[in-house]
Amino acid sequence: MVQEQLVNRGIKDPQVLQAMGKVPRHLFVESALADRAHDDEPLPIGERQTISQPYMVALMTEAAELRGEQKVLEVGTGSGYQTAILAGLCLNVFSIEKIHALAVKARAVLDGLSYYNVAIHIGDGTLGWSEHAPFDAILVTAGTPELPRPLIGQLASGGRLIIPLGDERSQVLKRFRRTASGLEEEGLGDCRFVKLLGRYGWPD
Ligand code: SAM
């Protein structure tokens, strides 16, 4: 998976590649799908949601530019797989999941793997998590037409916000960087995510 799907497609950060090679992805999918866990595609995780394709997880993580002592907000815990990758690369991950059953399942898997630097909140992640802001990086793992305003306000100076923006069929993965003069925007490629449902996303 690491060589064929990540290195060959341009993922370079050695720490991201190492994390992707280390976290046992098969534990984050239903046991019936374990033999497909490393396939080059998203897979169903129940509740009509998906675990993201390995390449997309690596691309978003690399774009976050994590280096040790940083604090990250993830919106859309899903299976908890991306959460685990992030947790190995920064100090603390604050992850928000809207669907109770998914949050509970992800928490159990992450506890089983001793990821104690992860806090999970059940609720609307488009509101962010103001008690723990500002964040060095914010990753939104579901698609929306517009940037959720509260997330911009919770981004640290120099911080990176990675988010799929577009309609329900297709989006562009964007990186916004907070600089002294405002937000710098960069496109990272086309993608297709499930909907970000919430007050500052698609209507729930
Ligand atoms: N990165 C995750 C993984 O590796 O398993 C996949 C995330 S999945 C593509 C998107 C998740 O976002 C779903 O679990 C969905 O329930 C969640 N979601 C959608 N809208 C949300 C919101 N407003 N707040 C929090 N989570 C939300």
The whole-number pLDDT of residue 67 equals: 86
144 in a structural domain: yes
Q: Give 68's pLDDT tier (boundaries 50, 70, 90).
A: confident
List pLDDT tens digits, range 176-193: 999 999 999 999 999 999
141 in a structural domain: yes
CA-198 nearest atom, ligand 1:
23
7 in a structural domain: yes
Query: In whole numbers, what is the pLDDT of the chain averaged over residues?
Result: 97
Decide if 25 contacts 38 (C-beta within 8 A): yes
CA-82 nearest atom, ligand 1:
4
- Ligand 1 shell residues, CB under 6 Å: 49-52, 57, 75-76, 78-79, 81-82, 96-99, 102, 124-126, 141-142, 193-194, 196-198, 201
The model carries a pTM of: 0.98
List pLDDT tens digits, range 138-185: 999 999 999 999 999 999 999 999 999 999 999 999 999 999 999 999
How far is Cα 167 from Cα 192, in angstroms, rounded to an integer?
9
CA distances from 1 to 31, 154, 172, 189 (A): 19, 34, 24, 20
Q: Give 83's pLDDT tier (boundaries 50, 70, 90).
A: very high
Percentage of residues in the chain having pLDDT higher than 90 = 99
Active-site residues, by number, are 52
196 in a structural domain: no
Q: Which residues span the domain enclosing 178?
A: 2-191
Q: How many domains does the chain have?
A: 1
202 in a structural domain: no
* Helix-then-strand count for the chain, H and E: 5, 9
180 in a structural domain: yes
201 in a structural domain: no
CATH value at residue 172: 3.40.50.150
29 in a structural domain: yes
Decide if 116 contacts 91 (C-beta within 8 A): no
